[in-house]
Amino acid sequence: MGSGVSTVKAMCRGRAVRTAVFRLIGVFDGATGPQDGIPAGVRARRDSRTSVNGPPARRGHVARVIRFLCFRALVWPLRLIAGREVLVMHNANHTIAVFPGTFDPVTIGHVDLIRRAAAIFPRVIVGVGENPTKTQMFSPEERVGMIRELLHDLPNVIVRSYTGLTMQFVKEVNGKVILRGIRDTVDLRDELQFANANLIVGDVETVFLMATDQHALTSSTLIKQIVELGGAHIERLSHLVPPAVLNRLKSRLRPKA
């Protein structure tokens, strides 16, 4: 943002604008071409001020007024553009993005998406919700604790639990954007329906982040089923979940008969 505004200010104050003004004034004076960036007519008028045979003071005053008006006509639009640029960037710097999900359990894919989102948005709120159609393995407090532990080095990420509709939670935290991860076309088809509903009902945009190749097939539901069914090879889940989460999953293993 700073470099863009500085560039516009430099254009407003620089020689390019002044030369353009002089050329425009040169049209009024009937000059045929600029000399060192100043039209001949303007240079002759400037030199005539010190000449005994110079033009009357009234003509000189009118020329100064014309120069002033021409300069304003060119500079003010540039200042207006610069002001709009600052306003747009100011609003962008205050955008709150909400990444909702059950995160039961949180996976390496989840962490990757959150970190990438934190590099894009100035503030990301991770909303830990509940899915009434699924049985949760970890309580909301446990899931919030695990995510905070994994993302403690990101000061612009906040983790909160919520109940009820995601749209209502987004409004409560003044969120402007909902973040969703996309693994394949099946995810995209389902998420498009929710995105359209959120836009129509809540006037909130949805931003999709594509999962990387390493995490495209990661599923919290599949991980939970493996653990609930005994987890004979639970150590292999280390490629899907962080070590701290894997240790908690081991404590949830169903005792073998």
Q: What is the tens place of the pLDDT at every residue in 214-248?
A: 777 777 888 887 777 766 567 778 888 899 998 88
Question: What are the backbone dihedrals phi and psi of residue 48, each rounded to the nearest 5 degrees, phi first?
Answer: -70, -15
Task: Tell me, yes or no, whether 37 and 140 share the same domain.
Answer: no
CA distance 179 to 167: 12
Q: Are 2 and 10 in contact (CB under 8 A)?
A: no
Residue 54 domain-assigned? yes
Task: Tell me, yes or no, whether 80 and 146 share the same domain.
Answer: no
Side-chain-facing half-sphere of 186: CA atoms under 13 Å = 3
Task: Tell me, yes or no, whether 113 and 231 share the same domain.
Answer: yes
Task: Tell me, yes or no, whether 206 and 134 share the same domain.
Answer: yes
Which range among 23-32, 46-55, 87-96 shows the weakest confidence by mean pLDDT? Answer: 23-32
Classified as helix, coil or strand, 240 is: coil
CA distance 116 to 179: 11
Residue 256 domain-assigned? no
Task: Tell me, yes or no, whether 69 and 181 share the same domain.
Answer: no
| Average pLDDT rounded to a whole number, residues 83-95 | 50
Task: Tell me, yes or no, whether 69 and 125 share the same domain.
Answer: no
In DSSP terms, which residues pair with 101 in a beta bridge? 128
| Average pLDDT rounded to a whole number, residues 124-151 | 92
Residue 206 domain-assigned? yes
